[in-house]
Amino acid sequence: MLCTFIGRYLPWLACLVSVVFAGKMKIVEEPNTFGLNNPLLAQSNQLRARVSPSPVSGPPHLARLAGKCFSYTEAMYKFDFCPFHNVTQHEQSFRWNAYSGILGIWQEWEIQNNTFIAMWMREGDSCGNKNRQSKVLLTCGNSSRLVRVSEPQTCLYLLVFETPLVCHAHSLLVYPVLSERLRKEWDEIEQNRYEDLITEQGYNKMLRGLFEEAGFLKLAEQPQRQEEQSQSPKHQSLDQCKEDFEKQHLEIERLRSLLTQHNISYSVETERPNTPVTPQPLVQQNRHLRGDPGIIPNL
């Protein structure tokens, strides 16, 4: 009896066991698609820049760095510096929420004492109530490589980039890169400063405007003109328009009364006279202004 039961149901049990184990093997063998080098990341999780990078500017010989990227890895983080483009950070782990973000987008140069000091990458990913930004210092080296990354302040990153392109003593000077016209303008600014014709604040403002025109600095946002800020709002209704008109009429009457009290004459020309005005002939002796003897004829 037992043998008959086993013989009848054994094939079914073997089939069930094979299905169960096959299912487990399928789960185990599924590839890990989280974290590092995940090809199945949603499009919404990919890096997206807030703004476009500024045009390539500065010393012409540094333009050959455009289109290249240089990596630096520290602990679990990989930093990519792409001159004249952006700076990014990628966490090298298999965590499902491994961090990847933009630490700054190329914006402008930092200039001091006629020298390009550093490259500023701004408008990176959000960091609290501000955006991440990076300052890239250029130093002399045997090869072009990113050698150090630090975060001296929260959301502000400091990168050190070595390259033989800046080893020459004059490789980062600003004046030789300017056009002839801008060099002449800079000469005039320096001369005016030497002769105390402009203040230090005016000197710095004029110099910044010159660098902005050259494309080395990003154009500062112009403040809204005061007259536009103080411009009265448009009338929303006819009643509001009438009310404002009455207020202006009362103010005019008050000013007229004030002028009358102080015996100050005034006139209001409401319409042009219909009768033509006949021009009066000029008197010969009053033709010249006081103190102007005119041309004295030879007698």
The pLDDT tens digits of the residues spanning 187-230 come to 999 999 999 999 999 999 999 999 999 999 998 765 554 444 44
Burial 126-154 (b: 16+ CB within 10 A, else e): eeeeebbbbbbebeebeebebeebeeeee
Q: Characterise 114 by phi-psi region: left (phi > 0), alpha (psi -120 to 50), beta (else).
A: left
* Confidence at 22, pLDDT banded by 50, 70, 90: very low
8 Å CB contact between 104 and 123 = yes
> Distance (Å, rounded) from C-alpha 134 to C-alpha 124?
8
Q: What is the pLDDT of residues 124-179, one digit of tens each?
A: 999 989 999 999 999 999 999 999 999 999 999 999 999 999 999 999 999 999 99
**Which pLDDT band, with edges at 50, 70 and 90, does 238 fall under?**
confident
How far is Cα 140 from Cα 172, in angstroms, rounded to an integer? Answer: 11
Reported residue count of the chain is: 299
Q: Using 50, 70 and 90 to split pLDDT, how confident is the model at 50?
A: confident
- pLDDT given for residue 292 in this prediction: 40
Whether 62 has a pLDDT exceeding 50, the answer reads: yes
Render pLDDT for 63-75 as a digit per residue (tens, 0 to 9). 999 999 999 998 8
pLDDT for res 283: 45
Which of 97-106, 204-213, 280-289 holds the top average pLDDT?
A: 204-213
User: What share of residues in the chain are helix, strand, coil (percent, to 5)?
Assistant: 35, 25, 45
Q: What is the pLDDT of residues 266-282, one digit of tens each?
A: 665 544 545 555 555 54
Average pLDDT, the chain: 77
Instruction: Please give the pLDDT value at position 248.
Output: 82
Give the highest mean pLDDT range of 55-59, 93-97, 248-252, 258-262. 55-59
Write down the pTM of the prediction: 0.60
The helix-helix angle for 180-194 and 200-214 (nearest 10°) equals: 180
Place of tokens 């002796």: 285
116 phi/psi in degrees, rounded to 5: -75, 110
126: Cβ contacts below 8 Å, ≥ 6 apart = 132
pLDDT at 140 (0 to 100): 97
